[in-house]
Amino acid sequence: MIRFLFKGLLRDRNRSLLPVLVVTVGVALTVLAHCYITGILRDSIEFTARYSSGHVKIMTRAYAENSDQVPNDLALLGVDELISNVQDDFPDMEFVQRINFGGLLDSPDKYGETKKQGIVSGIAVDLISENTKETERLNLAGALRKGRFPEKPDEVLLSDEFAEKLEVNPGDPVTLISSTMYGGMAVQNFVLAGTIEFGVEFMDRSGMIADITGIQNALDMQDACGEILGFLDNPRYNDEMAMQVEQTFNNKYADPDDQFSPVMSRLKNESLLSGFFEMVDMFSGIIIFVFILAMSIVLWNSGLIGGLRRYGEIGLRLAIGEEKGHIYRSMIGEAVLIGIVGSTIGTLIGLGFSYWLQEAGLDIGGIMKNSKMMMPSVFRANITPPAYYLGFIPGLFSVVLGTMLAGIGIYRRKTASLFKELET
């Protein structure tokens, strides 16, 4: 029976070509949309990992409990030894020091008095050591607007907007007023090396990137840092692997009775991100549901049109004595075949485009008026296991459902009026 129906579909292209094409296009779009949306959301998570949370993050217990306040008075001490130890424990990972800091940034006039000043929100990373990957990790090369990267500990990068507000250019001095990790007043002069565009509004308003050594000197944090970020070998976050690292580390180093003992938390457990993963899944699910629903309506409609288009053929088959149930079942069988063939071709095409977008990415830099920023301008698709079967939902079910609805009309046809219909 299946072979018979399949032959019928192959030989009568009027019956099969259009429905298969519609299903193929619909399914390919569904698969591509799913992969692209998932890719964009995953890219956002990766950006967060590279910028602030790492795949895993080590902090003191007290710092972790108050991490939204960036409490450098609760920072990790003896970090060189700690990093050396964890590097031995997890040789495939990379661990880097970070300090988040805030305060006031002041630009002096020619008499050394305040010309302009503003609240600063800064991040200290290893910018100048020989083998640092932080510049690349933060996409600083793509974000540089004026000047150059810092080459000395007392050189800093400012957001372009903030530098304009402070009326400073590369080479000008700026003074950071903040608190040392012991609560004392920290006043330190820096030189502006260059300006960058973060691509994140609040960072563009008041952002600063400094070398970790310069900030450690300024905030009296020698051999100390707020956070140690750990990055897995694979740039894509793997929660299972991160969880294993987290458990191994906490079993070895964390002491529940010491508020200054180091604790590790993985990206998924970060306070700001804990809900984000669920939100990503939910949001992705909603977008895909809406898309599938729209595609289903299109494909369902195609099934309905198919049924109506074959009005005459069905009449003839009824007239020569074929049972109504048999016609109905054979039409559904054909719809299943069309759905499977269209969904398979559509899934393959969708996966093909998605693979290309995953590897090459879509560069939206051109749309953004040539602006350079830390936010990635190339968005990539991400092929996940659901992409292999997701297209079959609209592809198969909606064609079958459309045909089933259209086919109900078969039972309403009256044999007595069939010949009259055929005469016309």
Q: Which of 179, 248, 250, 358 binds other proteins (CB under 8 A)?
A: 179
Helix axis angle for 274-309 and 398-412, nearest 10°, is 30
Give the whole-angstrom CA distance, residue 32 versus residue 243: 30
Is 187 a binding residue for other proteins by CB under 8 A? The answer is yes
- Tokens standing for 412? 């309403």
Is 184 a binding residue for other proteins by CB under 8 A? The answer is yes
For the bound state, the minimum distance from the C-beta of residue 179 to other proteins, rounded and expressed in Å, comes to 6
Give the whole-angstrom CA distance, residue 102 versus residue 401: 60
For the bound state, the minimum distance from the C-beta of residue 54 to other proteins, rounded and expressed in Å, comes to 24
SS3 assignment, position 128: coil
Answer left, alpha or beta for residue 104, where phi above 0 means left and psi between -120 and 50 means alpha. beta
Q: Specify the residue, 62 or 362, whose C-beta has the smaller distance to other proteins.
A: 62
Residues paired with 228 in a beta bridge: 58, 97
Span from 71-79, 240-248, 317-325, 353-361 in contact with other proteins (CB under 8 A): 71-79
For the bound state, the minimum distance from the C-beta of residue 185 to other proteins, rounded and expressed in Å, comes to 5
Quote the distance between the C-alpha of residue 112 and its chain's center: 46
Is 154 a binding residue for other proteins by CB under 8 A? The answer is no
For other proteins, the binding residues in 95-114 under the rule CB under 8 A are 104, 106, 108, 112-114
Is 191 a binding residue for other proteins by CB under 8 A? The answer is no
- Residue 252 near residue 244, CB atoms below 8 Å: no
For the bound state, the minimum distance from the C-beta of residue 192 to other proteins, rounded and expressed in Å, comes to 15
Is 43 a binding residue for other proteins by CB under 8 A? The answer is no
Q: Specify the residue, 35 or 210, whose C-beta has the smaller distance to other proteins.
A: 210
- Residue 168 near residue 147, CB atoms below 8 Å: no
Give the whole-angstrom CA distance, residue 53 versus residue 415: 73
For other proteins, the binding residues in 230-269 under the rule CB under 8 A are 260
Q: Which of 52, 85, 87, 117 binds other proteins (CB under 8 A)?
A: 117
Q: Residues 61, 224, 49, CA angle at the centre, nearest 5°?
A: 65
For other proteins, the binding residues in 213-232 under the rule CB under 8 A are 220
> What does the CA dihedral 269, 121, 224, 150 come to, rounded to 10 degrees?
120
Give the whole-angstrom CA distance, residue 101 versus residue 70: 7
Give the whole-angstrom CA distance, residue 106 versus residue 268: 37
Q: Which of 4, 133, 164, 183 binds other proteins (CB under 8 A)?
A: 183
Q: Which of 188, 238, 358, 371 binds other proteins (CB under 8 A)?
A: 188
Residue in the structure block whose two tokens are 């399914």: 27
Residues paired with 6 in a beta bridge: none
Q: Which of 21, 40, 62, 362 binds other proteins (CB under 8 A)?
A: 62
For the bound state, the minimum distance from the C-beta of residue 69 to other proteins, rounded and expressed in Å, comes to 9
For the bound state, the minimum distance from the C-beta of residue 56 to other proteins, rounded and expressed in Å, comes to 24
Task: Catalog residues that contact other proteins under the rule CB under 8 A.
Answer: 62, 66, 71, 73-74, 104, 106, 108, 112-114, 117, 119, 175, 177, 179-180, 182-185, 187-189, 220, 260
